[in-house]
Amino acid sequence: MPNRIQNSLRPNPRKCAFNAFWGLWLTNLVITCVIASLYVASSPPAPSWKHYLFIAAALVSNFSMFYAGAALFIFPLCMIWPRRGFLTAVTLLVFVSLQILTIIDTSIYRLFKFHINGMVINLFLTEGADDSVDLGWATWSMAGVVLLAFILFELWLINKLYRRCQAAPEKPIPWRYWSTVALFLLATVIIDKTAYAVSDLYNLREITRYGRLFPFYQPLTIKGFAEEDLGFKVEREHLTERASHGSTLNYPKQRPSRTPLPNYPNILMIIIDAWRYDMLDPEITPHISSFSNDALVFKRHFSGGNSSRFGIFSLLYSLYGSYWHHILNERQSPVLIDELLDLGYQFKVMSSTRLTYPEFRRSAFVRIPEAIEDNITGYRGGERDPKLAKGFVEWLKVRDKTRPFFSFLFFDAPHAPYTYPPRFAKFSPAIPAANYVTVGQSDMPRLKNAYQNAIYLDDYLTGEILAELKLQGLLQNTIVLISGDHGEEFFEHGHYGHTSSFSDKQTKVPLVLYVPNREPGTIDYQTSHLDVVPTLMELLGYTSPPEQYSQGQSLLSVSADRPAVSMGWDKGAIIDGQNCIIFSTETYNSGHFEIRDSEYRLVENEAQVLRSKGNVLAQTARGMGEFLR
């Protein structure tokens, strides 16, 4: 009998492991949330207590979900092996790592306003990187002290929790305690996601801008459901008023100054979707090639992205594509458009594809919605592009001729599936679209022919527009820029289309720049879309340093190679004449990093290349936070 009583009072290993694990879990979650409050402290003040309430809910919700994911994996193991030694090892490995990573990420966010990504990891771990980023002995000493403190704290907490279980095995922590904690955390998730969804539905940027404040934050959006299933009229585009408080952007750093000009030139941008660099050719683009004889032709020009979103963004904002989400959340107009409005320009923006996706109505052209025509009827670019060209020619005839104009034309025919009228089928055999299940190298010649036919169409339409400019005598006072948003690959480097790599076939594009009364010529040094806005600002009489509002330099005043920075959905690339350094821009893919040579082959001497590029890596990392508060 005494043995039975003694055994009944002996601590149950699983009960001890259960209570110890969840005690550790909750304590570490609270500590992480406290550390994560530094994200909030490093950001501009929120407009009101309501915004802080959302931020607090989002903070707890975000890290609760993250910790819940860790628990789903770890907790069953602790129940299978309810040993104190195993729980201690797991705690030191997982929870201490999470705390240290949170501290590191908050420090990076405080300095750069973005989270851990592939660029950051390789910048600090690459041999020789300390030549560019020297953390110093004080930082390393502090890191060691913090790490040791966390280890000692976790060991103390484990010991305390187990001693409590051993001292009172008959009195486990009540279930109502754990259920109350679970309900509280669930409530924060519901409040967070509901508030974000409603704010996104009504375009409340004061709320949605905080979606990028925390790492791994998962926003909930219901616009499609509300519009299609509930009949809710979603206002997607014309909310132009910027929030007056709490902006995360520092763009521009200062409003640029200018010297007034007696006459301001017209500006015409013609962008051909997916027009890659080697397609500026007399056989494929005879009209543009002929026009380029009187213009500046940049032979080594790179887009700021491998997709339309980031390519056009970099062209109009002169910022890295990593700023896209911040700009979109703030509905921030480009400096170029702001200044043209101030100068009294009239605008005409025409696109064969809707500018609601990518969301240029809510970013680049947010202040001039009345100037946009992007609902052209017809089947894709093959039918819409001719209507676009005709519509613009008609507009040139009826526009207000007492004011200069800015026009942006976006042709879409060379975007897959490649479309064009039969009379433009110059290159054959051709197929307009790929079977993405079976597409391979054997399909490339026919797909490329169709692509070239689509470019041939847009060249003809561009020729009609240029002819109208000449007929009206506008070329005497019109800056004309013709380029592509990105390139298109046909398995030259193992990919088809775009968005899949940063090879020259996907990122290198033609740039033809006609400036009245300027000598034509061919430019061989490397340039990028980031350089376009500073060039136009210089031609408009602006004298402020480009660094105040852009990350580029004037194409007309620089004569040396500069690395190009090109962005994709979750990766970026630093491209120079020798290498393409590809890095992740998102925390979830932070381990991705690769270096390729000028032929887009993986290099063997990666460490050596990284050592030589330390300054470039550091400069790019700083640039990704340069225009954030």
Which of 493, 526, 559 is a domain's end point?
526
Q: What is the pLDDT of residue 238?
A: 45
Please report whether residue 254 resides in a domain: no
Is 259 inside a domain boundary? Answer: no
Residue 378, SS3? coil
**291 lies in the same domain as 163:** no
Cα–Cα nearest to 559, from 298, 278, 292 = 298
| Same domain flag for 281 and 413 | yes
pLDDT at 520: 97
Residues 206 and 272 in one domain: no
Out of 177, 193, 212, pick the residue that ends a domain. Answer: 212
Are residues 284 and 139 located together in one domain of the fold? no
Are 377 and 505 contained in the same domain?
A: yes
Among 570, 567, 569, 537, which residue's Cα sits nearest to residue 552? 537
Structure tokens at 513: 């720049």
Q: Please report whether residue 547 resides in a domain.
A: no
Give the C-alpha separation, 377 to 189, whole Å: 43
Please report, for the domain that includes residue 427, its CATH number: 3.40.720.10
In a domain, 235, yes or no: no
* Residue 487 CA, distance from chain mean position: 18
Domain membership of residue 159 (yes or no) is yes
Residues 6+ apart with CB under 8 A from 556: 515, 535, 538, 539
> Is there a single domain that holds both residue 192 and residue 333?
no
In a domain, 21, yes or no: yes
What is the model's pLDDT at position 33? 94
Could you give the number of structural domains in the chain? 2
Residues 6+ apart with CB under 8 A from 470: none
Which residue matches tokens 């004569």?
Answer: 559
pTM, entire model: 0.77
The Cα 454–Cα 461 span in angstroms is: 11
Same-domain check for residues 468 and 340: yes
- Name the CA dihedral angle for 545, 551, 557, 561, rounded to a multiple of 10 degrees: 150
E strands present in 365-477: 372-373, 405-411
Structure tokens at 60: 């707890």
Domain boundary among 526, 542, 557: 526
Same domain, yes or no: 181 and 313: no
Instruction: Answer yes or no: do 466 and 324 share one domain.
Output: yes
**Would you state the structure tokens that stand for residue 343, as one six-digit string?**
């100068």
Question: 166 and 34 share a domain?
Answer: yes
Look up the domain containing 464 and give its range. 267-526
Tokens of 213: 């404040």
Q: 314-350 b/e with 16+ CB inside 10 Å = b?
A: bbbbbbbbbbbebbbbbbbbbbbbbbbeebebbbbbb
pLDDT profile of the chain (629 residues), mean per 10: 47 79 90 92 82 92 91 86 84 88 84 68 54 60 88 90 75 73 92 88 76 84 71 54 64 96 97 98 98 97 96 98 90 97 98 92 95 95 97 97 97 96 97 82 95 98 98 97 97 90 96 97 96 98 96 86 89 92 76 84 84 84 89
Q: Would you say residue 293 lies in a domain?
A: yes
25, 167: one domain: yes
Is 72 found in the same domain as 135?
A: yes
Does 538 map to a domain? no
